[in-house]
Amino acid sequence: MNEFAEIVTHRLEEKGLGPGEIEGFVRCVTVTISDDNHIGLEKLNRRLGWLGWDTVDLDYQTLQLIIASFEAEDLVGRGYTPFQWFEHTYNPCQYGLQDRQE
């Protein structure tokens, strides 16, 4: 995980998300902004609310950190899609989630 991803994780934990939720939230953010590169923060939060993330108010700084995390490893230049980037950057094994039982 790059430094930006660590900061994003910390900021989202402060907003009340757990490690498993962070993964899903970041995935929704990356897919949503990849569909509309010029989406505003208010519209992004509204769309995230439609996806069930209505309790999380994404702020501008955290959004920029998510984008910076994506760009930090030049994953775009290497042809990663948002989903592949998510899998590469926010691997559940890093949090020990693979050992948890439902």
- At 79-91, the pLDDT tens digits run 555 555 555 555 5
Looking at the structure of the chain, the number of domains it has is: 1
pTM of the model: 0.71
Supply the pLDDT for residue 79: 56
- At 28-71, the pLDDT tens digits run 898 888 878 788 999 999 999 999 999 999 999 999 998 888 77
Q: Long-range CB contacts (< 8 A, 24+ apart) of 78-87?
A: 81/34, 82/27, 82/30, 82/31, 82/33, 82/34, 83/27, 83/30, 83/31, 85/30, 86/23, 86/26, 86/27, 86/30
Supply the pLDDT for residue 57: 93
| Residue ranges making up the domain that contains 34 | 3-99
Supply the pLDDT for residue 74: 59
